[in-house]
Amino acid sequence: MAYSDKVIDHYNNPRNVGSFRKDEEGVGTGIVGAPECGDVMKLQIKVENDTIVDAKFKTFGCGSAIASSSLATEWLKGKTLEEASKIKNTDIVQELNLPPVKIHCSVLAEDAIKAALNDYKKKTEATKQDKEQPATTSS
């Protein structure tokens, strides 16, 4: 199957490969997929004042899966949490010219974004609670 130039570019020069420490302040981590299914994406965001200031990914999967997650990190940077939650898999499909058999890669990337956002929200809510109720720290 022939890949689009954009997929090839992301594959050869993936943007923002890497990891933040999961426990770092302001970091949200989303891990989606399963090795048995042939793709696993780890997508992380770093948030300051409700804005994503940095994003990183690591992906086990085909070229389209790598490109989808690489593109997602590019798009996330500079977006507010609200804006980030509106990124749709169809936007990724369009940008990368993914064929029908590869649409699941873009779905996975959208899931990874959502998972990272949720993780960040959970973490910040937990810390807020901790601050309000310092007595019950380890809950």
Partner 1 sequence: MKLPIYMDNHSTTPCDPRVLEAMLPYFTEKFGNAASRNHSFGWEAEEAVDQARKQIARLIHADPKELVFTSGATESDNLALKGVVEMYREKGDHIITSSTEHRAVIDTAKALEKKGVNVTFLPVDKTGMVNPDDVRQAITDKTILISIMLANNEIGTINPIKEIGKIAKEKGVLFHCDATQGVGKIPVDVQEMGIDLMSFTAHKIYGPKGVGALYVRRKAPRVRLVPLIDGGGHERGMRSGTLPVPLIVGFGKACELCEQEMAVESERIRRMRDRLQEGIMSALEEVYLNGHPTERLPGNLNLSFAFVEGEALLMGVKEIALSSGSACTSATLEPSYVLRALGVGSDLAHSSIRFGLGRFNTEEEVEYTINRIVQAVEHLREMSPLYEMAKEGIDLKSVQWAAH
Q: How far is the CB of 61 from partner 1 (least distance, A)?
A: 5
From the list 53-61, 71-79, 118-126, 130-138, the region that binds partner 1 by CB under 8 A is: 53-61
Exactly one of 52, 72, 105, 116 is catalytic; name it.
105
Q: Which two tokens stand for residue 69?
A: 């997650």
Catalytic (active site) residue 37 = yes
Q: How far is the CB of 133 from partner 1 (least distance, A)?
A: 29
Q: How far apart are CA 101 and CA 3, in angstroms?
A: 12
Q: Which two tokens stand for residue 41?
A: 């994406």
Tokens 């992906």 locate to 59
Q: How far is the CB of 130 from partner 1 (least distance, A)?
A: 26
| Three-state DSSP class for residue 22 | coil
| Closest C-alpha to 117, from 64, 61, 72, 59 | 72
At 97, the amino acid letter reads: N
x/- track of binding to partner 1 for residues 23-42 (CB under 8 A) = --------xxxxxxxxxxxx
33 to each of 30, 39, 99, 103, 109, how far by Cα in Å?
10, 6, 20, 14, 10
Q: How far is the CB of 1 from partner 1 (least distance, A)?
A: 6
x/- track of binding to partner 1 for residues 54-93 (CB under 8 A) = ---xxxxxxxxxx---------------------------
Question: Is residue 98 at the binding interface for partner 1, with CB under 8 A as the rule?
Answer: no
**Catalytic residue numbers, as ranges:** 37, 105
